[in-house]
Amino acid sequence: MVVELNPFSLTVLGCSGSFPGPDSACSGYLVRGGGVSVWLDAGSGTMANLQRHVSLHDIDAVVLSHEHPDHCSDIEGLRVACGYVVERVGVPVYATAGVGRHLFPDFKTVLDWNVVTDGDDVEIGGLSLRFSRTDHPPETLAVRIDAGDRSLAYSADTGPGWSFEALGPGIDLALCEATYLADEEGPDSSHLSARQAGAMARDAGVERLVLTHVWPVIDRNESMDEGSSAYGQAVTMAETHAEYEI
Ligand SMILES: [Zn+2]
Ligand SMILES: [Zn+2]
């Protein structure tokens, strides 16, 4: 019998867009695969949920897509925990340059801080990461994560001027922001509607689509219907603590 010791998986730590809702923290995910555990985005409330799935001693790296608080504010909690309680120095963090400008001054003495930008490649254990600048101010990085022959892509925050196509073909699971519904679409939008997310993922040929970063005031059933219709097959709405195998 073959036992799979380390499947490639995505666990949702929070999926509310822009601000936390009554039932969900902001954006944050746990990616496990290639022998490592990576905390992908650290929006408010996600550090609490993270510890339901993995010990702070066992986080191998943190990846932060951009400096908006709904994607990075809980890195401050990790800094305090590692500096004073858990006593771990040098947890690698990969973040855009902007994230560091907003943090408490001693973060670089506690964490192993690495600035990443568009087109960078990073190896974390057996995971290969590739970053792509999205259509969202300030500098925001989507990421493709490959483990063996399987591939996860995360849009971070983006407007309609970016596509999963920028991360290449063969995406098995795409985690895409779908902040609102089609009635909020506008020419200068820096987010996607569920319709736009579905259409973009369809055009990029992604195998499975999970919608996240949904404003807490949006009707999730409407979002699912709108996204599924545009995608051409059923989308999955991200739910806190749900785990998806890639
Ligand atoms: Zn956001
Ligand atoms: Zn943002």
Tell me the mean pLDDT in the region 200-218: 98
The pLDDT of residue 3 is 47
Q: Which single residue is written with the structure tokens 């407007």?
A: 159
Residue 192 near residue 200 (C-beta atoms within 8 A): yes
Cα 3 to middle of ligand 2, angstroms: 40
pLDDT level of residue 215 (50, 70, 90 thresholds): very high
CA distance 226 to 230: 6
Ligand in closest contact with the CA of 41: 1
Number of Cβ within 10 Å of residue 102's Cβ equals 14
- 107 vs 122, which has greater pLDDT? 122
For ion ligand 2, residues whose CB falls within 5 Å: 68, 157
Residue 1 near residue 25 (C-beta atoms within 8 A): no
Cα 182 to middle of ligand 2, angstroms: 19
CA distance 102 to 204: 34
Please give the structure tokens belonging to residue 201: 């993922």
The pLDDT of residue 187 is 86
Please give the structure tokens belonging to residue 23: 């039932």
Above 70 in pLDDT, residue 115?
yes
**Single pTM value for the model:** 0.96
Above 90 in pLDDT, residue 107?
no
Cα 159 to middle of ligand 2, angstroms: 10
Coil, strand or helix: which one is 211?
strand
Indicate the angle between helix axes 220-231 and 194-204, nearest 10 degrees. Answer: 30
Residue 167 near residue 144 (C-beta atoms within 8 A): yes
Tell me the mean pLDDT in the region 28-39: 98
Number of Cβ within 10 Å of residue 33's Cβ equals 24
Q: Which distant-in-sequence residues (6+ apart) come within 8 Å of 26 by Cβ?
A: 14, 16, 17, 18, 19, 20, 43, 44, 45, 46, 69, 70, 71, 73
Above 80 in pLDDT, residue 2?
no
pLDDT level of residue 6 (50, 70, 90 thresholds): low
**pLDDT, the chain, mean:** 96
The pLDDT of residue 87 is 85
Q: Which distant-in-sequence residues (6+ apart) come within 8 Å of 80 by Cβ?
A: none
Please give the structure tokens belonging to residue 95: 């973040």
Cα 103 to middle of ligand 2, angstroms: 17
- 64 vs 104, which has greater pLDDT? 64
